Amino acid sequence: MLRLLVLTYVLPLVLLTACGSTSSTTSKCETDSTLGVVQAILDTRGCTASTCHGADDSEAAAGLDLRPENFYDNVVNVSASTADLALVFPADEERSVLYLKLAAKTLGTSLTEYGISGGSMPSSSDVLTEDELEVVRAWIRGGAPRVGAVAGAPSVLDCEADLEPSPNKIPPLPEPAADKGIQLFSGGWSLPADSEDEVCFVTYYDYSDRVPDSAKVPCPEAYGGASHDCFVYESMVLAQDPQSHHAIVESYIPPPGSDEQWDPKSDVWKNWQCLAGEKAGEPCDPTSAGECGEASVCATEPTTALGCIAYQNGPEEMGTLQGFFGRASTRQNIAVAQEATFLEDYPDGVYGVLPVEGFTIWNSHSFNLTKFDTTVSQYINFLYAATDDRRHLREDLTILDDIFAMGTVAPFTTHEACATFTMPMSSRLLTLSSHTHQYGTDFRIWYPPNDPCPSSGLGGPIDLCAVPDREPDYRSFFYQDPLYQRFNETNNLEILDSADDRDRTFRYCAIWDNGATDPAKVRRHSERPDAATCAFGEIAPEFVGPCGCAPELRACLGGPDQGMICGEDDSACGEGGVCDACPVWGGVTTEEEMFGILGAFYVND
């Protein structure tokens, strides 16, 4: 159950009365935002008629006014009667009652499985077209922005033909009540127009006076030991701007014997500055809460750093290579999120912990495909564990042992690779997901039993790990929005209690398509990203591949000799061809590839 999004007020799930069109028209609308298009759709379909949701709250159907001047404030981050759903839950259409009711009419989907009362929208013979519904979905998925245009929303009602996509900023995640939980906020790091970057920075927090004694426990050794207080939480939700490719959030824990590093004013911490807001870039005191003003936070300077490797503004041990693989003892995972909103809600007896005072590491990889500069922000809400039933500590599941198992994928070809991972005995999965970049498709996972495969290490590929001859238990096709499986008492995989490794081994495979299905989607040297992380390919070529490709590897795209090596000579490709196609290999931008498993679990001991 979603308990962390502290919303404005509660309305019943029947509140969206499903009215149909009355006197609305389909004349060309005038708007400069996707929100304006959504409002035009609702108006065209009669939802804002005076007999429906087109009056003051006291007179509108179900007391809900959806007219343009009131629509946003009346639906975004406004809870429905079950805490799992909001009228519009930014970045998650499947937790948005407005979308679900519209989809039930257009697509014939069920409302009862979401616990929603009442009928679909609209209740008359009128219905949103699939393109109109997709506009609503894209707007919500894009963070439900109040202003700007969401990329990918189809053109409807002659509204959007001239809209220029803008960076999507998610509304701030409302903070939990003081006696219910806490919020961590990243501030906003800068991401210029038409660019990509992966940065690392650290924020400091001190909730020692806010966390109630009932939520405090001595910290486990991995979180600083019993001399430090931790708080326990039973659920966590992360919200981030939709242009984020991933957010890796961790707690920095100083190593034993380095007590001075718990002090944010220690010499190991450098370049504290306000992140975003009116004081952006100004020096700040990390212990002075609120010094940086609204929508800002005091943070160490963000710098380009793959997995925070060699980050210069924090302790040396924070920036080791082991941190990239989730194995650094000084970095305890909080969340790895590939979605704009990400939820972990734990079953009875399972809990997470964090120090009541400490440091948050923000490792954020984002891309800005628009013509406008922007910032990237993340919010995390934690809800205190409500009972003393604390038996099983939540643990991170990050499997990157075979991260570059795809090897080299030549232009206009595909390659498939598989690998395995083995869970601890008596473990129980909480979440399970996959990670590739844009050429990765058809990611599959098979639950146990499976024979373990040898690991490729970083160099891949794996030659002795075959695709199983049975249907997969997990399948995801979209790298930018991978499937997340969530586990509970009905699908808890009791086979993991076995002492036999085979009964605890998962096999996973993916296909990388470098223009084989659609030649227009081949990797192109001329479209190599303007990403600061491209420098890692030059610094560590044995670890990651370069952005773009050398002339001796370039092949023809189009023309009679497509796929032929052509150096830098377009004329070698014949009429209609260009010398621009590159192989795909492992690397750090979304133009290069990765192969991994993400999730969380606990041990049922």
Per-residue pLDDT tens digits for 301-321: 999 988 888 899 999 999 887
Q: What percent of the chain has pLDDT over 90?
A: 50
273 in Cβ contact with 299 (< 8 Å): yes
Parse the chain into domains and list their residue ranges. 10-141, 181-392, 398-515+593-603, 522-581
Global pTM reads 0.84
C-alpha angle 362-364-369 in degrees, rounded to nearest 5: 155
Cα–Cα distance for residue pair 595/440, rounded to 1 Å: 8
Mean pLDDT, the chain, whole residue set: 85
Of 354, 352, 472, 489, the C-alpha closest to 428 is 489
pLDDT digits (tens, 9 = 90+) for 239-272: 999 888 889 999 999 999 999 999 999 999 999 9
pLDDT digits (tens, 9 = 90+) for 10-42: 444 444 544 555 444 444 567 778 888 888 888
pLDDT for residue 592:
85
Residue 492's pLDDT band (boundaries 50, 70, 90)? Answer: confident
Span 232-240, average pLDDT: 94
Of 82, 83, 63, the C-alpha closest to 74 is 63
User: Strand pairing of 349-355 and 390-393?
Assistant: parallel
Cα–Cα distance for residue pair 596/443, rounded to 1 Å: 10
Q: Which residue has the higher pLDDT, 484 or 157?
A: 484
